[in-house]
Amino acid sequence: MRPSLRTALAAGLLAGLALLSGCESAGPTLKDSAYAMERSRANLARKELVLADGTRIAYLEGGTGAPLVLVHGFGADKDNFTRVSRWLTPHYRVIVPDLVGFGESTHRRDVDYHYAAQAERLHAFTQALGLARLDLGGNSMGGGISMSFAAQHPQEVASLWLIDCAGIAEAPPSELAKIIATTGTNPLMITRESDFPAFVKFVMSDPPWIPGSVMDVLARERIANQDLEREVFQQIATDSVSGAVKGLATPTLIVWGDEDRALSAGTVPVLKALLPNAQAIVMPHVGHAPMIERPQQTAEDYLCFRASL
């Protein structure tokens, strides 16, 4: 249940453009400039490929070393991992796709969005890149997809990095789940531009600064995709990978923000009970997106994990 966290815009990078933020037409320029600067700092380049079934996948790639594939979550896109990649590309070949239905990849209403089906589409992508073995990480919905991928193809996954991940039926109910159950309203959905600031506040405890005009651009992109997002959310909200991953021996790092309102940090001990080779880090004063809120610390913790393997 990963919300759209396409808000990976560093305050320092945007400061020089802030004078334009009051102009409605400046929003796309600000957003594109900020993304371009973040990608450049992270040594990431945009690429794309077409799968055998004609599905187009846009992705970011950069760095050298063992391939590290990172998977975004619900409503999000590849740039959720741009900030943290700045500290990862010196060590790994980082690859971050837009999942089908999100970002710049093909948006399809005719396919299954349960975790296992999304994992198989991700596998088709990694096969197209010729990746026989990889390290795999995911945030929220992307974590559920990553676990399903590892369960389906354990010989191909050297390690897992699960960041505030979804897909565990036994997890304690989160604030998000309680709000949906009692009000029928989903704080992760964007139906008008004015929803976006509250959404950012809900999913992150310490979000980066974002000019209002850029928030409006991000909101309009979510609004345009809202019908598909509702279908995806309906499928993943009742899906679980718990049975598939129980006893999975893949070395795993679990990372969680202790102020996550979308997915309860109480999921951590549940995951550790399912995954016998898992270790966990709970980050104080962090919400649902540690890789955006604390990118350097999140990367350094991951590097320590990898060094321990």
Of 85, 140, 213, 264, catalytic:
140
Find out whether 296 and 271 touch, Cβ atoms under 8 Å: no
Beta strands 134-139 and 67-71, pairing class: parallel
- Whether 242 sits among the annotated catalytic residues: the reply is no
Euclidean distance between CA atoms 71 and 77, whole angstroms: 9
Euclidean distance between CA atoms 306 and 309, whole angstroms: 5
Euclidean distance between CA atoms 134 and 67, whole angstroms: 5
Q: At what angle do helices 212-224 and 26-41 cross, to 10 degrees?
A: 90
Of 72, 114, 153, 288, catalytic:
72
Between the two ends of the chain, the Cα-to-Cα distance in Å is 29
Structure tokens at 152: 């389906």
- Whether 72 sits among the annotated catalytic residues: the reply is yes
Active-site amino acid positions: 72, 140
